Structure 1
């Protein structure tokens, strides 16, 4: 089992390395720490936020991006999407965990790091993604399901807020209505 705080899966732990600069302008490793996980949906998935930004383009001067990330993380108010910025998040999916149909108001890059995951769209289309495969979610209603009987799946997601999406004159909004736990919904 991992030494990462709160990690549920038996997958290898994650260490985050954040680089910066010394006073002479040379690159350094500014911080190094294990990922901190939060469990959701009756322990069927866990999230670890690697980093977030709160503006675009990011302001790295005086470590503004790093300070803002640490402040928003400490506030407990970071949602799935960070308005005006980005979120990089690891997600571990339990074997046979229930799929959670949802939509975020974002453009998401989802990359399978370990295992396999089934992507289901609200149209009924399904695809099995394997290690190294990537999905680009464009504010679509979708669900993830780990089909394995025994093995956890790990993905990394980078989410960027998008402008409201309008299809057929209707604005498609974030939808987390199928989330079971109040903690998951309160972090929107």
Structure 2
């Protein structure tokens, strides 16, 4: 592994944040390596790339950056950031344990490396290839890397959503076997 703190052998990730200089010209304000956290006995690793806490985001005087830093330092971020967004990279070990869960959110999940199976409650798993995108709409779902030897990587953008009611039942967050491991999002109160 070439990146300290990274769990998987996949290439390191660098986050580049842009902004403006005093003359109003676009600049790269910062470039920082990924900050990884291991879960499920190193079968999964999360790197929260960025969060917003309101929509639309307020970029004036770098308010969004300050708010992101505050959210990260709180240590309380769940999978979803209430009233905002989360951009997260997830690395999956070969044959990882599938964590079936539901978030109250609209998520875009994009396969960057390897193959990932998307599991839902009904029907066969859907095998996703590099470049495939899942639009996850507050459903029970899980992600599994079917490879025996290679790690897989996805990027997710999670967006808080209005409460969803289906067949008279409100679809609240359910963390499954990750309950007590992951912080609850708190956006389904």
Q: Under TM normalisation by the shorter chain, which class is it?
A: over 0.9
Aligned mates of 2:106, 2:100 — CA distance in 1:
16
Query: How far is the alpha carbon of 1:6 from its aligned partner?
Result: 2.0
Q: How does 1:42-81 map to 2 (within 5 A)?
A: 42-81=41-80
Aligned mates of 2:30, 2:67 — CA distance in 1:
15
Q: How does 1:20-99 map to 2 (within 5 A)?
A: 20-99=19-98
Note the alpha carbon deviations across 1:68-115, whole angstroms, 9 max, x for none: 001110111111100111000000000001111100000000000000
Aligned mates of 1:114, 1:29 — CA distance in 2:
26
Aligned mates of 1:78, 1:31 — CA distance in 2:
22
Number of the residue aligned with 1:101: 100
Aligned mates of 1:10, 1:158 — CA distance in 2:
23
Unaligned runs of 5+ in 2: none
Q: Give the paired residue count.
A: 185
Residues 76 and 187 in structure 1, CA contact (< 8 A), matched pair in contact too: no
Q: How does 1:1-188 map to 2 (within 5 A)?
A: 1-3=1-3, 5-179=4-178, 182-184=180-182, 186=183, 188=185
Aligned mates of 1:44, 1:137 — CA distance in 2:
22
Aligned mates of 1:125, 1:174 — CA distance in 2:
23
Query: How far is the alpha carbon of 1:64 from its aligned partner?
Result: 0.2
Aligned mates of 2:143, 2:71 — CA distance in 1:
27
Aligned mates of 1:93, 1:112 — CA distance in 2:
11
Query: How far is the alpha carbon of 1:178 from its aligned partner?
Result: 1.9
Unaligned runs of 5+ in 1: none
Q: Where has structure 1 moved over 6 Å in runs of 4 or more?
A: none
Question: Normalization by structure 1: what TM-score?
Answer: 0.95
Question: Normalization by structure 2: what TM-score?
Answer: 0.95
Backbone CA RMSD of aligned residues = 1.1
Aligned mates of 1:85, 1:172 — CA distance in 2:
19
